[in-house]
Amino acid sequence: MNNFTSQIDETNGVHRIAIDTPWPLGWVSIYIFKIDDSYVMYDAGLDMISWKRLFFSELKKLNISLTDIDYCFVSHGHMDHYGLVKRFKQKNPNMQIITSNITHSSIEWESDPNNYDEMMEIAKENATLMRKYGMNEKQTDQLTEWATFWQRFGKPMVPDRILQDNEEVSFPTNKLKMIWTPGHALGHMCIWDEKNRHLFSGDHILSRITPHIGHFFVSPILDIEYDFRDILKHYLESLDRIDNLNAKILFPAHQDIIFDPHKRIVELKKHHDDRLNDMANIIKNKPLTPLEISQIHFGDLDDMNMAMAILETLGHLVYLENTNKIERIEKDDKILFVSN
């Protein structure tokens, strides 16, 4: 049985239900607050028996029923953020489920059985490229499995409203704006409450760790409309955009509430700057594959974390390449990077 624990707290009128999993995820938080006569929820947690039971138990302590919730904003399409959407909608058909346009497009494409052959073909092409980056067959097989996960386990949600960047949901005395913040996920959206200067940041900004920013498996629909090859550039620009809002409090999906957003954003930017410099130094006059670079930078890791480390390394190498600080070389069917 999963050994989850939970807690509930309130900050400036925002209730947080946080459930601590024994996984690296740590706290998975859902936020609930009221605007005028409407209850608003940010994210929808994990669809797991223990997590679900604890969430409804904590919700009851707030004397709030699921039927009281008018809006549920979903930050992005990872399982710990929209897992209970279908359950919420079953219990309260009037609840408005809201996602970004990119999150909706991604999940819709990934979970459609008619796209299986196309998805497998793209996954195989991606695996071939990753072998050139230094991965072995076991690692690329694992990546292919992750890439086709939704074909087997995905539970597509049908949102009631799909927001484009900067679109708003209006209330009599306030409004909530969708801020598109690609990086950790292509369609990630933060929600900005300008009146209270609250930002609900999902996985975009966390209090103690940096969110994973790496190479993405992109659906053909999004590939045509957007350029997601340099995902770190998207992320850093998104950080600047959030910084310019001058938020008072950030409410992240994991870890601690952030009361000095500017300071945390500066720390995150420095972290990535340090990583970029370190990777550039590792390959100074010494061409290496992304696998070799990740092993030097991150050290020894288990298979899953090593695969994540390679993807994170690629995200930084592409950024360095696009800023003309390094170059790629193809040799003996491998792709290497070097800074001169």
Is the pLDDT at 100 greater than 80? The verdict is yes
- More confident call, 230 vs 109: 230
- pLDDT score for 219: 63
- pLDDT score for 317: 96
Q: Which of 64-68, 119-123, 126-130 has the highest mean pLDDT?
A: 64-68
Cβ neighbours for 239, distance < 8 A, ≥ 6 positions apart: 204, 205, 265, 268, 269
Please state the rounded mean pLDDT for residues 24-40.
Answer: 91
| Residue with tokens 């919700």, as numbered in its chain | 59
Model pTM? 0.92
Is the pLDDT at 117 greater than 90? The verdict is no
Between 2-6, 215-219, 318-322, the lowest mean confidence (pLDDT) is in 215-219
Q: Write down all domains in the chain, each with its CATH number in brackets.
A: 5-108+155-271 (3.60.15.10), 112-150+283-338 (no CATH)
Cβ neighbours for 155, distance < 8 A, ≥ 6 positions apart: 47, 86, 111
- pLDDT score for 149: 64
Is the pLDDT at 225 greater than 60? The verdict is yes
